[in-house]
Amino acid sequence: MLAVKADGRIVLMDNSTETIAHSMDAQIMEPLYQYAWLIPVLPLATAMVIGLGLISFNQVTNQLRRANAIFVIAGLAAAMAYSLAILWSQYHGHAPYLQTFEWASAGTFHLTMGFTIDHLSALMLTIVTTVALLVMIYTDGYMAHDPGYVRFYAYLSLFSSSMLGLVVSINLVQIYVFWELVGMCSYLLVGFWFDRKSAADAAQKAFVTNRVGDFGLLLGILGLFWATGSFDFQTIGDRLQQLVSSGALSSGVAILLAILVFLGPVAKSAQFPLHVWLPDAMEGPTPISALIHAATMVAAGVFLIARMFPVFSGMPEVMNVIAWTGAFTAFLGASIAITQNDIKKGLAYSTISQLGYMVMAMGVGAYSAGLFHLMTHAYFKAMLFLGSGSVIHGMEGVVGHDPVLAQDMRLMGGLRKYMPLTSLTFLVGCLAISGIPPFAGFWSKDEILGSVFASNPAMWMVGWLTAGITAFYMFRMYFSTFEGSFRGHQTDVRQQLKAAAGEPELAMAFGPGAMDPKELDQDHHHSDSPHESPLTMTLPLLILAVPSLLIGLVGTPFNNYFEAFIHPAGDAIAEVAEVAHEFDWTEFLVMGGSSIGIALIGITLASLMYLQRKLDPGAIAAKIKPLYEFSLHKWYIDDLYNTVFVQGCRRLARQVLEVDYNVVDGVVNLTGFVTMISGEGLKYFESGRVQFYALIVFLAVLGFVIISA
């Protein structure tokens, strides 16, 4: 039993005390755990109530905007309070809790479902509920004028419920169920503004790309079940190892199965080569980008790797694939993010890159470092996205409700004057993601890089370089958005952007916060300068700034509460405690120093280019044009997929349909023709058709019996 002393040292408690503490705990805590299913069910209930209201009393429900919002937020707040209570109880050493029921059965096959509360799920519950709650509060301001306000809350609540269900899942099938459900919510929310063609395309792309990953996940689950007869993570891990070591299963097959399962996280956590859906998913309203596509759902992939750790960790080949996928994705995302001009797209690629870090950490076996980064990233990236939403909201006052204009950083600049709170929180986020101490991102990223260095210096090199690029593009984003002078009125830039987007300047697309055609009419109420967002939007930003600043302190290498709490299932407690004591100042200073160093280089470069304008980014881009174009066109991966898969699939489908019409149906129509002719011929038999029919039947039966008797 683990305990944390007042001075933060981790010690092993005496066994007898543990038993006593435990039984007392059990009496007090048991109801808390028995009803833990309420955490996912509460948001589900609110979503259902509102959904039913929307279907049956559409007008009334839509008019009760705030009432609905408060209802949803209250439901989630209750879930959050519950999650915090559970986290508290888990932190104080309550044993893991498991409740199951039989979900499906056929003959001797039984499949159980249920929920489990352990350290990992307690942590994830807390992250999801806190971020979701703040995003919901923020939504009130962001979507204030949208006619779909209530529907949006219903979807948000539905998503929260699915995500919470995912993190308490007890086996692979249950994970798969919620995995798909969060995917569905993502589909609904990306396509929320269904009158935008780009949103419709993006929603479909997100769902289908994820299905490609799920294809692998499903095959992996089936294969693992075939091999081990179980869907349970730990059992699969144990039995798989047993099978491989006894030679009953070749290790190649085991590796293949594990990699198939890993395809699921590849799609969900937007890892190369299935990362293409995430930037497009930015078509959804910004609160969604923060909640689903930055903080929670995309992290589900990392969560699944963590759950599958008993399986993966026994296979070094698989761990290598995972680690290199992560490392490559981290670099890929960062290399694309540096040339993006759409503020949300830039953040999306940064998310891809950061998820790459987490996956890389998992791959090198740095279980708690990966999850630590998941947690810190959830908070600071949610804040950055919400901040970008606030910027877009402010920009819309000037350029209109047009995502092409309102999200482009070439039209921003100098917003710090107009939006002080947004800019302050955004800066905190930038510092956190760039890895400047004491901000949260430093501690988690440093821990990852330290573990990676220990296992593979080449990979560390990739991660370290990426950290520099990260600092560069984040501050490029910060400087072009908030510093300098406001460029929102440069009509030439506007026209250029519109032309690039293929739309005439005055064609008004719908935008965040404005689906009311009356508002779209003209630029009447547009002001000359951007404005700070309302309190419901800035308050969540300010609240999120706190964990972005401080939460890293729970996982400092010299005092790692986080690792003591979250560590792989197999690891003995003593081992963790030992690691904590082994802390080496020199190593920390070298590793930390080098990552701070490269981050500072990145920031300096960004300030030279975008703040002081001593270096002209355009000139540099012209000098390395092929590289610039390569990054700008996202490594041409989307174009490649479009030609090969999308067009290919369409062509194949058309060809199959041709065959269906001309060959399969053609034969049938020909037979129809022949029958008709022979039917005409039969008319001339005076015996008539009925007798003939009977005769044929009789002869056939006779033939049958004689031949086979």
Partner 1 sequence: MSNFPWLTTIIFLPLLASAAIPFIPDPDGKGRPIRWYALVVGLIDFTLMVYAFCTQYDFGNPGLQLVESYNWIPQIGLKWSVGADGISMPLILMTGFITTLATLAAWPVTFKSRLFYFLILAMYGGQIAVFAAQDMLVFFLVWELELIPVYLLLAIWGGYKRQYAATKFILYTALSSLFILVAGLAMAFYGDTVTFDMRELGLKDYSLGFEMLVYAGLLISYGVKLPIVPLHTWLPDAHGEATAPVHMLLAGILLKMGGYALIRMNVEMLPAAHAKFAPALVILGVVNIIYAALTSYAQRNLKRKIAYSSISHMGFVLIGISTFTDLGISGAVLQMVSHGLIGASLFFLVGATYDRTHTLVLEEMGGVAQKMPKIFAMFTACSLASLALPGMSGFVAELMVFVGFATSDAYSLPFRIIVVILAAIGVILTPIYLLSMLREIFYGPENKELTSHEALVDAEPREIFIIACLLIPIIGIGLYPKILTQIYDATTVKLTSRIRESVPTLVQRDHPNPVANLPFQAATVDQAPRLGQS
Residue ranges in 644-683 that form contacts with partner 1 under rule CB under 8 A: 649-650, 652-654, 656-657, 660, 664-665, 668, 672, 675
Q: Is 111 in the site for partner 1 (CB under 8 A)?
A: yes
- The single residue among 42, 83, 86, 119 that binds partner 1, judged by CB under 8 A, is 119
Q: How near is the Cβ of 497 to partner 1 at its closest, in Å?
A: 20
| C-alpha–C-alpha distance, residues 22 and 562, integer Å | 22
Angle, helices 172-190 vs 197-228, to 10°: value is 180
In this structure, what token pair is assigned to residue 352?
């891809």
Q: How near is the Cβ of 186 to partner 1 at its closest, in Å?
A: 12
Q: What are phi and psi of 511, to 5 degrees?
A: -140, 175
| C-alpha–C-alpha distance, residues 444 and 432, integer Å | 10
Q: Is 400 in the site for partner 1 (CB under 8 A)?
A: no
| C-alpha–C-alpha distance, residues 27 and 29, integer Å | 6
Q: Which of residues 15-74 bind partner 1 (CB under 8 A)?
A: 54-56, 58
Dmax over Cα atoms in the chain, in whole Å? 108
512 or 530: CB nearest partner 1: 512
Q: Is 638 in the site for partner 1 (CB under 8 A)?
A: no
| C-alpha–C-alpha distance, residues 114 and 83, integer Å | 17
The window from 224-232, 267-275, 368-376, 628-636 that contacts partner 1 (CB under 8 A) reads: 224-232
The window from 130-138, 281-289, 456-464, 564-572 that contacts partner 1 (CB under 8 A) reads: 564-572
Q: Is 171 in the site for partner 1 (CB under 8 A)?
A: yes
Angle, helices 420-434 vs 585-606, to 10°: value is 130
CB 351 within 8 A of CB 333: yes
List the end-to-end C-alpha distance of the chain, in Å, as a whole number: 76
Q: Which of residues 280-319 bind partner 1 (CB under 8 A)?
A: 310
Q: Is 223 in the site for partner 1 (CB under 8 A)?
A: yes
Q: How near is the Cβ of 208 to partner 1 at its closest, in Å?
A: 6
| C-alpha–C-alpha distance, residues 384 and 609, integer Å | 22
Q: Is 417 in the site for partner 1 (CB under 8 A)?
A: no
Q: Is 178 in the site for partner 1 (CB under 8 A)?
A: yes
- The single residue among 82, 176, 464, 482 that binds partner 1, judged by CB under 8 A, is 176
**DSSP at 502:** T
Q: What are phi and psi of 514, to 5 degrees?
A: -145, 95
Selection from 209, 218, 206 nearest residue 262 by Cα: 218
The window from 27-35, 333-341, 521-529, 563-571 that contacts partner 1 (CB under 8 A) reads: 563-571
Question: Which long-range CB contacts under 8 A does 97-105 form with residues at least 24 apart?
Answer: 97/33, 97/36, 98/170, 99/33, 99/34, 99/36, 99/37, 100/170
Q: How near is the Cβ of 53 to partner 1 at its closest, in Å?
A: 13
- Considering only CA atoms, give the Rg of the chain: 29
Q: Is 242 in the site for partner 1 (CB under 8 A)?
A: yes
Could you count the other beta carbons within 10 Å of the beta carbon of residue 141? 20
108 or 485: CB nearest partner 1: 108
Q: How near is the Cβ of 697 to partner 1 at its closest, in Å?
A: 6
Q: Is 188 in the site for partner 1 (CB under 8 A)?
A: yes
The window from 167-175, 318-326, 347-355, 537-545 that contacts partner 1 (CB under 8 A) reads: 167-175
The window from 230-238, 398-406, 441-449, 481-489 that contacts partner 1 (CB under 8 A) reads: 230-238
Q: Is 516 in the site for partner 1 (CB under 8 A)?
A: no
In this structure, what token pair is assigned to residue 260?
């198939």
Q: Is 232 in the site for partner 1 (CB under 8 A)?
A: yes
